[in-house]
Amino acid sequence: MDACYNDQIRSELGDRFEEHLHHNHRSAEMIVTCDEATATWGHPIAENLALFVFENHLNPEK
The domain spans of the chain are 3-58
**Residue 13 CB partners (closer than 8 Å, separation 6+):** 41, 43, 45, 49
- Cα-to-chain-centroid distance, residue 16: 10
Q: What is the pLDDT, as a whole number, of residue 6?
A: 52
- Tens-digit pLDDT profile for residues 35-56: 666 666 665 555 566 666 666 6
Per-residue burial over 8-46, b = 16 or more CB atoms within 10 Å of its CB, e = otherwise? ebeebbeeebeebbeeeeeeeeebbeeebbeebbeeeeb
Q: What is the pLDDT, as a whole number, of residue 21?
A: 56
Task: Name the amino acid, one letter, at 10.
Answer: R
Do you know the residue count of the chain?
A: 62
